[in-house]
Structure 1
Amino acid sequence: MTSLFGAIDLALARGEAVALVTIVRAQGSTPQRVGARMLVHEDGRTLGTIGGGCYEQDALGKARLALQTGRPTLAHYDLNDDFAEEQGLICGGQMDVFIDPIAPTPRVCIIGAGHVGYHTAHLAANVGFRVVVVDDRASFADPARFPTAERVDVADIPAWLRTADIGPRDYLVIVTRGHREDLDALRAALDRDTAYVGLIGSRAKIARLCARLAEDGDDASRMARVHAPIGLDLGAVSPEEIAVSIVAELIAHRRGRLQPRTSADEADQARAARPMQWRPPAIR
């Protein structure tokens, strides 16, 4: 039989979040003592017990909510109250239960192994993200260039995005070598259920990609979930600075602090209407 902590390890290895429910204070007559634990999966499966009854069901509900919000919580149960009495509990004590959601380390899939992808991969790994890198150029997608990545794949990018093991907690960072490649990657990325999709480029480029998607019959509303231009507005210019802005946005998203973006102001809209200026491909 799998131990409770063994079950946590297995769930995290599968990329699943779980909540650990622990009695941290017990006073009077209670069905379980301090230290009793129950593990709650996102689908409601449990392992272990904090004593059964209506309060355990209530704690289970609070645990599943904590898995959605990512926030721990402390629940208090008075077994003298009407809540317990209605269920026939006669323990007559009080309990405090700490509910701690445990999420797997988020994974960042960096789509493009050029200059921005290179620096983003290293920085993301340094701040605690798991990193996967993919590019269709073997000289760029070289594992020796990405020693902190858990995987480096040489593959056709749209095909990889359509078939890779990508889940709802994964982050997709699209930083390929050109506009056409970005568009192909974006089309494939929009079909996947992920926590985050970010796309590099100016507002002008993003507007043109949206227009192209609409011309091809794609639902332009799907672009609403794309963070574009990617990264916090730090005034970044160099690949290193752009990587900092990207990873800063990933951290803000991970910690629930990423603020919704406002619509472009008139100046931005005017710039978006201008012809796109050529930029050196080396920046990618």
Structure 2
Amino acid sequence: MTDSKVRYTYFVHVSDFIDRVKELLENEEDFAIVEVIKTEGPTALKTGNKLIVKKDGSFEGWIGGFCTKDEIINNSLEVIRDGVPRFLYLKTCHGGLLYLYIDPMLPRKKLILIGDNPIIYYLENLGQNIGFNIIVINKIIDIDKIKINRNTFAVVATMGEQDHEYIEALLNTNIRYIGVIAGKKRGEDLISFLHNKGYKDDILDRIKVPAGLDINAKSPEEIALSILSEITKISKENKIEKVEEGEIDVVCGMTVSKSVPYYSTVGEKTYYFCSKFCKDKFEANPQIYIK
């Protein structure tokens, strides 16, 4: 991790930490809260310490010593990516132990509904019941007013009326899924129209027409269920690049990035270390650590 990604904010009071968490939630940012549950022996972090790790790898709060920093950040990014909390157990270079809990803080899934018909009615009601933030719009200009994040999805059910205009407006955002309620022929015409306007396949892949999983749905409520099932399935898929795997510090066993300032080259191989302590220990007798 580079210093450019570090926001040196230290939370003097718990209220400062809570205020910052509220601010990030209001801004619909993806981040993780890291809390120190327990420590043993020499550690820079102490029980009760809390910090925030954001999806770009930056952090706010005291993160402790260099030898555990990358492990904490990499695990936090994985938690943000997967949306699943985890406990983390780390050893420090000087023999201390850290027990951490990392909790993902992700915005609520957002569902944009466009149209006025029974399918939209059932999507709105069922979506609210399973925790979606529902936004119903009836003007194309309203799309520009919505903050769209990686957990935002849209369903266009205008039954052919301005559907290509709504779809094009959504394509110009980073929205993850655009479900269109239309027949196969209408779907082919829409995709062909957008192709001719210059949209590439990787952009058009976000459009699903006809929308919904194939569950042989017939009634409006069944169609709504099939669409929400499809959105739920897509929301669970990993769409964020996995954190690049680092190098193993052969002295202490920590995973470190190649951007660390502590490394040593033996023959044609470069070894990376979490701290000067591990680097010096390696260089004193490299053969102990080289397999």
Gap runs ≥5 in structure 2: 1-10, 240-291
Could you give the per-residue CA deviations for residues 163-190 of structure 1, whole angstroms, max 9, x where no partner exists? 54333332111112x2242222111111
Query: Residue 241 in 1 paired to residue 254 in 2?
Result: no
Q: Provide the C-alpha distance between the structure 1 equivalents of 2:77 and 2:204, rounded to a whole number of angstroms.
A: 29
Q: Provide the C-alpha distance between the structure 2 equivalents of 1:191 and 1:225, rounded to a whole number of angstroms.
A: 11
CA 1:46–1:134: 2 relative to 1, 3 Å = same
Q: Provide the C-alpha distance between the structure 2 equivalents of 1:234 and 1:211, rounded to a whole number of angstroms.
A: 26
Matched residue SS, 2:99: strand
Identity of counterpart residues, as a percentage? 26
Contact kept? 1:167, 1:194, Cα under 8 Å: yes
Q: CA deviation at 1:29?
A: 3.0
Q: CA deviation at 1:120?
A: 0.4
For residue 236 of structure 2, what is the amino acid of its counterpart? R
Q: CA deviation at 1:194?
A: 1.4
CA 1:167–1:256: 2 relative to 1, 3 Å = closer
Gap runs ≥5 in structure 1: 85-89, 136-154, 259-284
Q: CA deviation at 1:221?
A: 4.4
Q: Provide the C-alpha distance between the structure 1 equivalents of 2:234 and 2:19, rounded to a whole number of angstroms.
A: 29
- 1:65-214 equivalences in 2 (<5 Å): 65-79=78-92, 84=93, 90=94, 92-135=95-138, 155=139, 157=140, 159-162=141-144, 164-176=146-158, 178-214=159-195
Contact kept? 2:108, 2:151, Cα under 8 Å: no
Match of 1:42 among 55, 58, 74: 55
| Corresponding residue pairs, total | 226
Show the counterpart of 2:278.
none
Could you give the per-residue CA deviations for residues 61-86 of structure 1, whole angstroms, max 9, x where no partner exists? 3212322332333332222xxxx2xx
Matched residue SS, 1:55: helix
Q: CA deviation at 1:17?
A: 1.5
Show the counterpart of 1:8.
21
Q: CA deviation at 1:230?
A: 1.2
Contact kept? 1:210, 1:220, Cα under 8 Å: no
Could you give the per-residue CA deviations for residues 198-218 of structure 1, whole angstroms, max 9, x where no partner exists? 212233321221122233444
CA 1:220–1:29: 2 relative to 1, 3 Å = closer
CA 1:192–1:30: 2 relative to 1, 3 Å = same
Q: CA deviation at 1:162?
A: 4.4
Show the counterpart of 1:229.
210
Contact kept? 1:171, 1:195, Cα under 8 Å: yes
Q: CA deviation at 1:253?
A: 2.5
Q: Provide the C-alpha distance between the structure 2 equivalents of 1:191 and 1:257, rounded to a whole number of angstroms.
A: 22
Q: Provide the C-alpha distance between the structure 2 equivalents of 1:117 and 1:204, rounded to a whole number of angstroms.
A: 21
For residue 68 of structure 1, what is the amino acid of its counterpart? R
Matched residue SS, 1:32: coil
Matched residue SS, 1:179: coil
Q: CA deviation at 1:220?
A: 4.5
Q: CA deviation at 1:53?
A: 2.7
Q: Could you state the TM-score of these two structures normalised by the residue count of structure 1?
A: 0.71
Q: Provide the C-alpha distance between the structure 2 equivalents of 1:61 and 1:122, rounded to a whole number of angstroms.
A: 38
